[in-house]
Amino acid sequence: MALGLRGFPDVQGGVEKHAEHLYPLLVRLGCEVDVIVRSPYMPRETREWSGVRFIILWAPRINGIEAFVHTFLGVLYAAVARPDVLHMHAIGPAIMTPLARLLGLRVVVTHHGPDYDREKWGRFARWLLRLGEKWGMRYANQRIAISEVIRGLVKEQHGVDSVVIPNGVDLPEIPETTNALDKYGIERRRYVLLVSRFVPEKRHLDLMRAFSKASLPEWKLVLVGDADHPDEYSRTMRAEANKVPGIVLTGYQSGLALRELYAHAGLFVLPSSHEGLPIAMLEALSYGVPVIASDIPANLEIGLPKENYFPLGNISELEELIKRFSSVQQSNIAHETTRAWLRDKYNWETVAKKTLEVYRL
């Protein structure tokens, strides 16, 4: 039984994408999988998907308490259902690990990243997230870290070891269609792409300013995603986007439209200040798209060449990289080389098998 995510498929968020790929594969490996999901994000009639059963529990769609309340209710439900393993995702929900253990549940916690570093949280929320990390890591029966960076953090701060199981990526079929591009008036290989939720740590404003300074008249900047809850950051971001020519806001996208936007991008940029292991970057690479990223540890762990990174927050350096990469037309051979490298390094089937091994420890 899994807990700590909004839902899937087609619900934005890194943990949600992780679960969407992982749990159907665990079903194929012979597991019975129930996922406790949040009512605001899932149609009531959706009870099963790819062999995964959904338990839809109420959650208040209020930023800051949604995950806390839902996880509490989810642990109580699990205490009645008695799964062999309760797999909790992220350090916020992990604050309920001691309660789950007291109720006799066997708990595995996946640490997806130090969420207390996210810019949107205030002092009290950061304290709760640190407490969730502490209790989740110290009281879980087993721990999974999605990167070596996180494993080192857990070892240093909490004195316990974790099994490193990174996010994976599927190599998608490259669509030839361009319906999404036609809809938003953008051209193949002539746009910079960022796919993410509208949250401060993704640093959309840095990217917009660097793109504006780069002065690429034939290019556009396409921002795919939305805010979970309307807030000051998302309002500021939209206002700034309206001031800069060439910026396109598509809202949340999924399915063929999202695949088209990834596949035909000229460049993907991830300027974020916080990541666990960036699934959006892996997805861009799975289409063979050139990637620029900030030099935070989680992004560096992906292992791109040094010239693909820029110092976090350095808009001038980002501007120069955008100009440099946009001036080089990638060949089909370069795209396929990137895809082959990624397939060997990040494989969801390997992720699923390693996760099942952790369940059996």
Q: State the total domains in the chain.
A: 2
CA distance 130 to 115: 8
Q: Are residues 251 and 157 part of one domain?
A: no
Is the Cβ–Cβ distance between 113 and 275 less than 8 Å?
yes
Residue 173: inside a domain: no
Q: Are residues 235 and 161 part of one domain?
A: no
Amino acid letter at 75?
V
Q: Could you tell me how many residues make up the chain?
A: 361
Whether the model clears a pTM of 0.85, i.e. scores above it, the answer is no
CA distance 88 to 97: 8
Q: Are residues 336 and 237 part of one domain?
A: yes
| Strand ranges (E), 123-275 | 142-145, 163-164, 191-195, 220-224, 247-251, 267-270
Q: Which residue has the higher pLDDT, 345 or 79?
A: 79
How confident is the model over 312-337, as pLDDT tens digits?
999 999 999 999 999 887 766 777 88
pLDDT tier, 342 (very low <50, low <70, confident <90, very high otherwise) = confident
Q: Are residues 93 and 54 part of one domain?
A: yes
**SS3 of residue 89 by DSSP:** strand
How confident is the model over 257-282, as pLDDT tens digits?
999 999 999 999 999 998 878 889 99
Q: What is the predicted pLDDT for the residue at 225?
A: 93
Is the Cβ–Cβ distance between 9 and 49 less than 8 Å?
yes
CA distance 127 to 131: 6
Q: Are residues 153 and 191 part of one domain?
A: no
| The pLDDT of residue 61 is above 90 | no
Report residue 53 as tokens.
């059963």
Q: Are residues 352 and 249 part of one domain?
A: no
Q: Are residues 186 and 155 part of one domain?
A: no
Give the end-to-end CA distance of the chain in Å, rounded to a whole number. 16
Q: Are residues 223 and 81 part of one domain?
A: no
Task: Identify the CATH number of the domain in which residue 23 sits.
Answer: 3.40.50.2000
How confident is the model over 286-321, as pLDDT tens digits?
999 999 999 999 899 898 999 999 999 999 999 999
> Can you tell me which residue has the tokens 């209710």?
73
How confident is the model over 195-208, as pLDDT tens digits?
998 999 999 999 99
Cβ-proximal residues to 141 (8 Å cutoff; 6+ apart), any chain: 101, 106, 107, 108, 361
Report residue 148 as tokens.
């070596």
Looking at residue 344, the DSSP 8-state letter turns out to be: H
User: Range with the lowest mean pLDDT among 114-118, 330-334, 336-340?
Assistant: 330-334
Is the Cβ–Cβ distance between 228 and 197 less than 8 Å?
yes
Q: What range does the domain containing 120 cover?
A: 2-168+347-360
Q: Are residues 127 and 237 part of one domain?
A: no
Bond prior to 9 in cis (omega within 30° of 0): yes
Q: What is the predicted pLDDT for the residue at 82?
A: 98
Report residue 76 as tokens.
């109580």
